[in-house]
Amino acid sequence: MSYLFTSESVSEGHPDKVADQISDALIDHFMAFDPTSKVACETLVTTGQVVLAGEVKTKTYLDVQSIARETIKKIGYTRSEYMFDANSCGILSAIHEQSADINQGVERANPEDQGAGDQGMMFGYATKETDNYMPLALDIAHKILQELSHIRRNEPELIGYLRPDAKSQVTIEYSDDNVPQRIDTIVVSTQHDDFAGEQEMLAKIKNDIITIVIPRVKAKLRPEIQRLFTDNITYHINPTGIFVIGGPHGDTGLTGRKIIVDTYGGKGAHGGGAFSGKDPSKVDRSAAYATRHIAKNAVAAGLADEMLVQVSYAIGVAEPCGLFVETYGTSKVNMTDGEIAKKLGEIFDMRPYFIEQRLKLRNPIYSETAAYGHMGRKNEVVKKTFVGPDGTAIEKEVELFTWEKLDYADKVKAAFGL
């Protein structure tokens, strides 16, 4: 019997994502000026107010207020009527030095012996159902909001009433052998400027989403996925009605509250640790990227059609407690999932230092991760400029989303005889 599966996404203007982006902007600046920095930075945003808190061990000094304001400005909160404005919001910093007790478990005389920054388990997932090896419902949900954001920033003459806050949700019907059959439901809620009449407003927003945004998203997908967009989709567009009050004024935002949006939309599993605001010594972040790297390369190599990878650590210990693999019965080799896990553990060194080196994680590459998912994104090299509090500017050429590279697929093929 067929079944339905749903994933959601939120825009860069969602209050939790505003918090994530501020935290990761701080991480990038710390990495730019001192790549050895150890940082755990949390952000809270609410009406007219930003609170920064966390622990840092670094050789540099940052103007955290300026960084936060510039991030908010880039997102689009630049009007006083939003009740959260980059130029006028209050910013309180309660960032202090990292605990020496934690630091002694991470830093070692031999860098290769670097211990995990915390205990816990991290998961990576990949599936063949999309070109970027991501779950389909989440991929479409992200693309809807990315298109809305593009229109808001670059084509306001097309849809002129959009404000930064938005959410989307996509429900897909699958056959009992896990093949997508059709899109059942699409939900979009977008913050908007005030309209004269509520019914006229709702009608226009619904028409714009269905006739402008969705066709643009559909056109970017491969033909077999385009066919899932039938005339029988149920649309819920701004189902609560007016959505003028939004962003941090409408709902308090906190770092790390959108971990399922950040990963796989509910597919696979999640260990519970958030990513944004953490330097790569925190395995919540680095090992989640590393397990995605394993799963994606394994699926791309043809080892399985779908794969979940789990790794776990003890705080201060370099060697993982264990590596687990689930192929959901889609494995293409005559091996148990346990045997597959053992061999993958021989290919990918999962000690924290080696993850950092393999994925080039001690670079300012994190701001781009903080909206529209940390996984399934485009691997590319970009130049970024950072300005210190003394006005000193440095330019860095960095590689984004290194964990999305298929640079180990041939190694997986060779190891498994594929």
pLDDT tens digit string along 120-170? 999 999 999 999 999 999 999 999 999 999 999 999 999 999 999 999 999
pLDDT at 102 over 70: no
pLDDT at 313 over 90: yes
Cβ contacts of residue 307 below 8 Å, gap of 6+?
A: 125, 126, 127, 295, 298, 299, 325, 326, 327, 328, 330
Question: Measured in whole angstroms, how far is the alpha carbon of residue 50 from the centre of its chain?
Answer: 21
Task: Identify the pLDDT of residue 103.
Answer: 61
For residue 119, give both structure tokens.
């205990």
Task: Identify the pLDDT of residue 136.
Answer: 98
Quickly list DSSP for 264-281.
TTTSS---S---TTB-TT
Rounded-to-integer distance, Cα 122 and Cα 269, Å: 9
Average pLDDT of the residues of the chain = 95
Contact 267, 135 (CB under 8 A): yes
Q: Any known ligand binding at 142?
A: no
How large a percentage of the chain has pLDDT more than 70?
97
pLDDT at 111 over 70: yes
Q: Any known ligand binding at 14?
A: yes
pLDDT tens digit string along 322-374? 999 999 999 999 999 999 999 999 999 999 999 999 999 999 999 999 999 99
Q: Which residue has the tokens 């959901």?
A: 328
The least confident of 125-139, 196-210, 400-414 is 196-210
Q: Predicted confidence band at 104 (pLDDT cuts at 50, 70, 90)?
A: low
- Looking at the fold, whether 337 and 232 belong to one and the same domain comes out as no
Q: Any known ligand binding at 370?
A: no
- Looking at the fold, whether 227 and 349 belong to one and the same domain comes out as no
Per-residue burial over 383-402, b = 16 or more CB atoms within 10 Å of its CB, e = otherwise:
ebebeeeeeeeeebebebbb
How large a percentage of the chain has pLDDT more than 90?
91
- Looking at the fold, whether 173 and 298 belong to one and the same domain comes out as no
- Looking at the fold, whether 233 and 298 belong to one and the same domain comes out as no
98 falls within a domain: no
- Looking at the fold, whether 242 and 295 belong to one and the same domain comes out as no
Q: Any known ligand binding at 343?
A: no
How many other C-beta atoms lie within 10 A of the C-beta of residue 136? 22
273 falls within a domain: no
- Looking at the fold, whether 222 and 285 belong to one and the same domain comes out as no
Q: Which of 199, 224, 246 is the last residue of a domain?
A: 246
- Looking at the fold, whether 186 and 303 belong to one and the same domain comes out as no
394 falls within a domain: yes
- Looking at the fold, whether 235 and 294 belong to one and the same domain comes out as no
Task: Identify the pLDDT of residue 235.
Answer: 98
Q: Any known ligand binding at 222?
A: no
- Looking at the fold, whether 402 and 297 belong to one and the same domain comes out as yes
For residue 328, give both structure tokens.
């959901």
199 falls within a domain: yes
179 falls within a domain: yes
pLDDT tens digit string along 169-183? 999 999 999 999 999
For residue 370, give both structure tokens.
């903080």
Which range marks the domain in which residue 363 is found?
120-127+280-416
Task: Identify the pLDDT of residue 318.
Answer: 94
Q: Which of 191, 223, 246 is the last residue of a domain?
A: 246
Q: Which residue has the tokens 């308090």?
A: 252
Q: Any known ligand binding at 165?
A: yes
Q: Any known ligand binding at 274?
A: yes
Q: Any known ligand binding at 155?
A: no
Q: Any known ligand binding at 258?
A: yes
Task: Identify the pLDDT of residue 365.
Answer: 98
Q: Which of 224, 246, 268 is the last residue of a domain?
A: 246
pLDDT at 101 over 60: no
Please list the alpha-helical segments (H only) found in 37-95. Answer: 64-75
- Looking at the fold, whether 286 and 242 belong to one and the same domain comes out as no
Q: Any known ligand binding at 282?
A: yes
Number of domains within the chain: 2
Q: Any known ligand binding at 42?
A: yes
**Segment 227-247 mean pLDDT:** 95
Q: Any known ligand binding at 16?
A: yes
User: What's the predicted TM-score (pTM) here?
Assistant: 0.96
- Looking at the fold, whether 286 and 343 belong to one and the same domain comes out as yes
231 falls within a domain: yes
pLDDT tens digit string along 21-56? 999 999 999 999 999 999 999 999 999 999 999 999
CATH of the domain at 206: 3.30.300.10
pLDDT tens digit string along 62-99? 999 999 999 999 999 999 999 999 999 999 999 998 76
- Looking at the fold, whether 230 and 301 belong to one and the same domain comes out as no
87 falls within a domain: no
175 falls within a domain: yes
Q: Is 203 helix (H, G, I), strand (E, B) or coil?
A: helix
Spatial strand order in the sheet of 162-174: 3-10, 162-174, 180-192, 234-237
